Amino acid sequence: MARAMLETLTPQPPDALLALIKLYGDDPRADKIDLGVGVYRTGQGDTPVFGAIKASEQRLLETQDSKSYLGPEGDMGFVRALMPWIFGSADPTLVGRIEGMQAPGGTGGVRLALALAKKAGVAGVWLGLPSWPNHAQILADLGMEACTFAHATPAGTVDMDALRGAFAAALPGDALLLHGCCHNPTGIDHSPAQWDEIVGLFAAKPLLPVLDLAYQGLGHGMDEDAAGVRKVVAALPEALVAYSCDKNFGLYRDRVGALYVVTDDPGRMGAIVSNGHALARANWSMPPDHGAAAVRIVLEDEALTRQWLDELDTMRARMRQVRARLAEAGRVGTVDLTPVGSQNGLFSVLPLTPDQILKLRSAHGIYMAGSGRINVAGLTMGNIDKFIAALAAVTA
């Protein structure tokens, strides 16, 4: 039989982060520790469905009377219900300046944001490294240029000089992507004063802000974690905001996210949004409904909203506790864990060599990303001493 094209394809490596899930699953050791992919874990090591989501799913099951198509924008009740949580409800000047659409997870939101930027003529996207590896993969897949700069200094602070340099070197019409909070992978976020400076830098040069807000509520609180995004949105004429409910509603595999577009010219909103819809249609037609509907039901109900916020508070407090415990350990072998205490969200990066990371895996059953990123939620009061001892052993 004659072959046409498929034999031209060469094998691709599996996504390194997702591959860790399988490697960890295949490890028979009972005391293994998963610090790999970014999912929250309780002190017992579980990733349960939120109680508020379980209750809302029950209600959805009882009340949903059709699964007929919605449209490329998905569940607009969900999209709108999230808006005050992301953008704050206090600012009346935002009315008419922001519109959104549902997307399959935060990844779908980022994909849509960057595809929309490309359609608008953006060629180069500035990206602080290290970043979530999928940012660069999506840019490559879209045929957009990733222009990179250092996100953090070796001392563990935001590298504002590098960011200023990126603004200086960027061409008008480029985009610049920033993490809204809980930076993935470093946990090193911009301070309120740094966000003020960022707003000023954007105001001085026509660059499109693309903000990725995937961990709202996991750092310091729902309002605190959106403060930077709100500053950008309030002060600048345009922005794209990709949003994920994967972590703060625990809906990972249900793929719940959104894209919000911000413009100071409401007359242009229809054109912008219609391009988003067209891109969604060509990519996935419409987003999966179930998880977004569950989030909508939570946010439409005061008691469920309170329950969800309480659950989020518990998660955040546990991550703070683990971070404090790591920071207390101070210098372990060659690694100073002190900065982990003031970093935010699920992740921190430890300065480990590839050999040390492999040794942690093979000799101690401790799984982390090849970048040295750890998911602090994988640590519990029951395994943290083992982790610290193993870190001391491999870096001695």
Q: Catalytic residue numbers?
A: 132, 212, 247
Min dist. Cβ of residue 360 to ligand LMR (A): 17
Min dist. Cβ of residue 211 to ligand LMR (A): 16
Nearest to ligand LMR by Cβ — which residue?
Answer: 38
Min dist. Cβ of residue 348 to ligand LMR (A): 13
Three-class SS state of 389:
helix
249 part of the interface to ligand LMR, by CB under 6 A: no
List the one residue out of 116, 110, 86 whose CA is nearest residue 98. 86
Ranges within 70-129 binding ligand LMR (CB under 6 A): none
Min dist. Cβ of residue 38 to ligand LMR (A): 3
Question: Torsions phi, psi of 367, nearest 5?
Answer: -105, 125
37 part of the interface to ligand LMR, by CB under 6 A: yes
By beta-carbon proximity to ligand LMR, the closer residue of 37 and 79 is: 37
Min dist. Cβ of residue 269 to ligand LMR (A): 30
Ranges within 273-312 binding ligand LMR (CB under 6 A): none
Q: How far is CA 245 from CA 218, 320, 378, in A?
A: 11, 20, 20
Three-class SS state of 382:
coil
Residues with Cβ within 8 Å of residue 173, at least 6 apart in sequence: 121, 122, 123, 206, 207, 208
End-to-end CA distance of the chain: 59
> Which residue is associated with the tokens 């395994």?
383
Min dist. Cβ of residue 162 to ligand LMR (A): 22
38 part of the interface to ligand LMR, by CB under 6 A: yes
Calpha distance 74→56 (Å, rounded): 18
17 part of the interface to ligand LMR, by CB under 6 A: yes
Ranges within 322-361 binding ligand LMR (CB under 6 A): none
Q: Helix-strand-coil percent breakdown of the chain, rounded to 5?
A: 50, 15, 35
Could you tell me how many residues of this chain bind ligand LMR (CB under 6 A)?
A: 6
Ranges within 166-195 binding ligand LMR (CB under 6 A): 184
Write the single-letter amino acid at 219.
G
Calpha distance 191→171 (Å, rounded): 26
> Which residue is associated with the tokens 């971070």?
323
Angle at 240 between CA 234 and CA 245, to 5 degrees: 100
Calpha distance 331→338 (Å, rounded): 7
Three-class SS state of 307:
helix
By beta-carbon proximity to ligand LMR, the closer residue of 81 and 182 is: 182
By beta-carbon proximity to ligand LMR, the closer residue of 17 and 211 is: 17
Calpha distance 183→326 (Å, rounded): 18
Min dist. Cβ of residue 185 to ligand LMR (A): 7
Ranges within 127-146 binding ligand LMR (CB under 6 A): 132, 134
By beta-carbon proximity to ligand LMR, the closer residue of 20 and 175 is: 20
263 part of the interface to ligand LMR, by CB under 6 A: no
By beta-carbon proximity to ligand LMR, the closer residue of 24 and 132 is: 132
Question: Torsions phi, psi of 263, nearest 5?
Answer: -140, 145
By beta-carbon proximity to ligand LMR, the closer residue of 133 and 173 is: 133
By beta-carbon proximity to ligand LMR, the closer residue of 33 and 329 is: 33
Q: Spell 301-330 as b/e; 16+ CB within 10 A means b.
A: beebeebbbebbeebbebbebbbebbbebe
Residues that bind ligand LMR in the complex, under the rule CB under 6 A: 17, 37-38, 132, 134, 184
